[in-house]
Amino acid sequence: MRRPPAPVAFVARTHGVVGLVIMVSVAVLHTATRNLPVFEFGPRTYAISLGLAGLYLGTAALVWWGVPGGRFLSRLCGLLYLARPSFGSLLWETMNEPEYAAHFRR
């Protein structure tokens, strides 16, 4: 498959990195706290965390391939980034670009 336009690649990579960071964080916290009786995480904690990681990784793939539902999920996942205005605004403006929108209209 050919490479998507630069704005699309930027958004997809951002979602992919966030998904990977969530997965690595879960693995590190599990490794660090599994033998500590004070900290105990139940199965629901892992399900929610890994579900979020899957959401971000899935959104990255959908955006990269230009699947129409990926545009909505990208906006939904982008809400997390708005907590950091200097970064979130850049990503949000990138999702408003005509080149980004055209990628989903094939």
- DSSP per residue, 45-96: HHHHHHHHHHHHHHHHHHHHHT-HHHHHHHHHHHGGGGGSHHHHHHHHHHHT
Q: How many Å apart are CA 28 and CA 62, to the nearest integer?
A: 27
Domain extent listing, the chain: 6-103
Give the model confidence (pLDDT) of 48-87 as tens digits: 999 999 999 999 999 999 998 999 999 999 988 888 888 7
pLDDT of 20 above 90:
yes
Structure tokens at 50: 């890994």
Say how many C-beta atoms besides its own lie within 10 A of residue 39's C-beta: 10
% of the chain surpassing 90 pLDDT = 70
Say how many C-beta atoms besides its own lie within 10 A of residue 81's C-beta: 17
